[in-house]
Chain A
Amino acid sequence: MRPIAEGLFTDEMPPRLVGGRHLTTGRIVFPCPPGKAYEPYPLGRSGTVWSYTIQRYRPKSPPYLGPEAFRPWPVAYVELPGEVIVEARLTNVAFEDIKIGMPVELVQIPLDPDAPDSVLIPAFQPVGDKQ
């Protein structure tokens, strides 16, 4: 399975997200913007949930490429200490157990869990869980 986009993850295992570091200000963003102002900057794999919500209806296609059969999914902003707050799915957690401040770590999950060749997207799971 391949990532949903080039340059989103590092090639190592386990992978990290590739952010961008501004060459003059040092500001870190995600993803790494095109152009010369930012250099690729691998982000830490661990952080805490800064905020979240549950996506309860199927997003419109285009642009959404997820499965037709929709099941609600949680999406969070995760604070990577000293770096940046990134938006990504949460996985391996019951909706009612999600709390602001909970420690999470980066994993890759398929955009369509039922498709054998689904693309992979970034997600965070509670620390200590097996992928």
Chain B
Amino acid sequence: MSDVCIVGIGIHPFGRTDGLSGMEQGVYSVQQAMKDAGVEWADIQFAYGASDSAGNPDTMVENLGLTGMQFINVRNGCAAGGSALFSAQMAIKSGEFDLGLAVGFDKHPRGAFNALPSEYNLPEWYGEAGYMITTQFFAAKVTRYMHEHGISPTSLGRVAEKAFRNAVHAPHAWRREPVDLETIMNAPLVSDPYTKYMFCSPAEGGVALILASEKKARELGKPFIRLKAATMRTRPPGSFEVFAPSIDIKRGGSATNIASRDAFAIAGIGPQDIAVAQLQDTEAGAEIMHMAENGFCKDGEQEAWLAEGRTEIGSQLPVNTDGGCLACGEPIGASGLRQVYENVVQLRGDGGGRQVPNNPKTAYSHVYGAPGVSAVTILER
């Protein structure tokens, strides 16, 4: 079976764009991606579109052209973008199509996500008592993890500091001012042990990726990136997820464990072969825990990794080279595709001030979200 290739990428800058709907930001990213690939809308045979709260993606054909093409909407929590990408690559792998689009966009109100119990199969009292709050879960999860594996609050601060430092060089990032460790550590607490710089914010943005069969990619005649693996998985027994009134005493693995393991198996490589990684960092501790959950280190080793700067650009495994969710914010439908966008930029060598040195050949991306879903991709140049 031939590889699926990414032949075009486009992004609408993340953050806040008043006067532009989420959909319009998605359309903008599609136009950028088509320009990048050197294709026209009429060439695109199919699309998978992801949005959580900015409208039905398929309605963007009104802006892009009524060509009659197939357009399927994807709504899959934080894995929506990953699910769109997975579906798009399957459409090409199957031989049904040669050229298609995965697009994600979103636009969320300010403040924390406002989830309702009924959307998550939970009783109303759970929300009335004040527990439908993602930040609470993330804080409780990392508190336990730090206790079990000897991770210090300073390590949380180092992750945030790195994010803002990397984002300075990422034009699509939202928060592009460096913030020093002391400021991060002394900022107001949101949910202990996290200060306000250690959480990402809901945001806006759009990302589009043009996918092609290997044959089509060669016809287009541009350098292309191979999508070696794309997986989306749900949770195993004993996992600890967002919005959990109770958890099992017998602890189990996570959706991330499964998505990661299967992606490496499909790609035929291991964590040691990855040159750059984008790991879900909706809060600083998530990046730390996800380093281990994705197999890049053992539980507890992150303390030394961060102190030694081993996830910095230019070191052993650069992580979140565009500042991740911490600096870009999280438009749910677009967030997972942003990671893939950034990986394509890195593999093409177009990262400018944030470019990973020595011509990286492999890149990894990972998202995680409620109610226990994860999506992973592995790219190769």
A66 to B147, CA, bound (A): 30
By a CB distance below 8 angstroms, the chain A residues around B190 are 56-57
User: Which of A64, A65, A85 interacts with B248 by CB under 8 Å?
Assistant: A85
B177-202 CB mask vs A (1 if < 8 Å, else 0) is 00000000000111111000000000
B116 within 8 A of A: yes
Q: In the complex, identify which listed stretch (B42-50, B121-129, B256-264) lies at the interface while the others stay far away.
A: B121-129
Contact yes or no, A60 B114, CB < 8 A = yes
By a CB distance below 8 angstroms, the chain B residues around A76 are 140
B65 within 8 A of A: no
User: Which of A19, A52, A55, A87 interacts with B244 by CB under 8 Å?
Assistant: A87
Contact yes or no, B246 A66, CB < 8 A = no
Contact yes or no, A30 B133, CB < 8 A = no
* A56-B191 contact given A63-B128, A77-B140, CB 8 Å threshold: yes
Contact yes or no, A111 B128, CB < 8 A = yes
Contact yes or no, A51 B144, CB < 8 A = yes
Q: How many residues of A are in contact with the other chain, CB < 8 A?
A: 40
**B181 CB, min distance to chain A CBs, angstroms:** 21
A84 to B111, CA, bound (A): 32
By a CB distance below 8 angstroms, the chain A residues around B246 are 19, 29-31, 84-87
A61-94 CB mask vs B (1 if < 8 Å, else 0) is 0111110000001011101001111110100000
Contact yes or no, A56 B188, CB < 8 A = yes
Contact yes or no, B130 A66, CB < 8 A = yes
By a CB distance below 8 angstroms, the chain B residues around A5 are 123-125
Contact yes or no, B128 A4, CB < 8 A = yes
A55 to B134, CA, bound (A): 11
B300 within 8 A of A: no
B117 within 8 A of A: yes
Contact yes or no, B144 A53, CB < 8 A = no
B245 within 8 A of A: yes
**B193 CB, min distance to chain A CBs, angstroms:** 8
B106-124 CB mask vs A (1 if < 8 Å, else 0) is 0000011010110000011
Contact yes or no, A86 B144, CB < 8 A = no
User: Which of A30, A53, A59 interacts with B130 by CB under 8 Å?
Assistant: A59
By a CB distance below 8 angstroms, the chain B residues around A54 are 189, 191-192
Contact yes or no, B247 A64, CB < 8 A = no
Contact yes or no, A86 B245, CB < 8 A = yes
B139 within 8 A of A: yes
Closest to B133 in A: A59
A27 within 8 A of B: yes
Contact yes or no, A60 B111, CB < 8 A = yes
By a CB distance below 8 angstroms, the chain A residues around B191 are 53-56
A56 to B195, CA, bound (A): 10
A52 to B138, CA, bound (A): 10
Contact yes or no, A59 B132, CB < 8 A = yes
A8 within 8 A of B: yes
Contact yes or no, A63 B117, CB < 8 A = yes
Contact yes or no, A53 B116, CB < 8 A = no
**A1 CB, min distance to chain B CBs, angstroms:** 14
A30 to B245, CA, bound (A): 6
User: Which of A8, A63, A75, A95 interacts with B136 by CB under 8 Å?
Assistant: A75
**B150 CB, min distance to chain A CBs, angstroms:** 13
Contact yes or no, A65 B188, CB < 8 A = no
By a CB distance below 8 angstroms, the chain B residues around A75 are 130-131, 136, 140
* A64-B140 contact given A30-B245, A86-B246, CB 8 Å threshold: no
A8 to B124, CA, bound (A): 12
A86 to B128, CA, bound (A): 17
By a CB distance below 8 angstroms, the chain A residues around B1 are none
Closest to A99 in B: B147
B16 within 8 A of A: no
By a CB distance below 8 angstroms, the chain B residues around A29 are 245-246
By a CB distance below 8 angstroms, the chain A residues around B128 are 4, 63-65, 111, 119
By a CB distance below 8 angstroms, the chain A residues around B140 are 51-53, 75-77, 87
By a CB distance below 8 angstroms, the chain B residues around A55 are 130, 133, 136, 191
Of the A-B pairs whose beta carbons lie under 8 Å apart in the complex, a sample of 5, sorted by A's number, is: A51-B147, A56-B190, A63-B117, A65-B129, A100-B147
Instruction: Give 3 nearest A-B pairs by CB, closest first.
Output: A63-B127, A53-B139, A51-B144
Extra pairs beyond A77-B140, A79-B249, A87-B131 (17, CB < 8 Å): A29-B245, A53-B136, A54-B192, A55-B133, A55-B191, A59-B130, A60-B111, A60-B114, A62-B127, A63-B116, A63-B117, A85-B246, A86-B245, A86-B246, A95-B192, A100-B147, A111-B129
